[in-house]
Amino acid sequence: MAMGSKGRQRLSILLCGLSGASCAASMAAILLFYGTPYNPVWWWIMAAILVAAVLLPLSLVPAIEWVIAGYRSDRTD
């Protein structure tokens, strides 16, 4: 029912990569537009947000695998 480990790994890399890259690009655009933060603590906050943007998509992998398994079972019926 679940995808193989190679499929799960590819899905994880895709989701985490896209999320992390889009978050980093957004942060870079904000830094270019507004300039660097006035308080050095904001660098740590931005780093935490970027780490969360990379790791949180892992929680979506089982749900996406479930949907893919549903499509595959409909195709075989």
SS3 61: helix
The total number of structural domains in the chain stands at 1
Q: How far apart are CA 36 and CA 11, in angstroms?
A: 34
Residue 50 lies in a domain: yes
Residue 1 lies in a domain: no
Residue 61 lies in a domain: yes
Residue 43 lies in a domain: yes
Residue numbers of the domain that contains 58: 8-76
Residue 39 lies in a domain: yes
Residue 1: pLDDT band with limits 50, 70, 90: very low
Number of residues written out for the chain: 77
Residue 5: pLDDT band with limits 50, 70, 90: confident
Closest-CA residue to 2 (of 57, 64, 74): 64
pLDDT digits 0-9 by tens, 35-55: 999 999 999 999 999 999 999
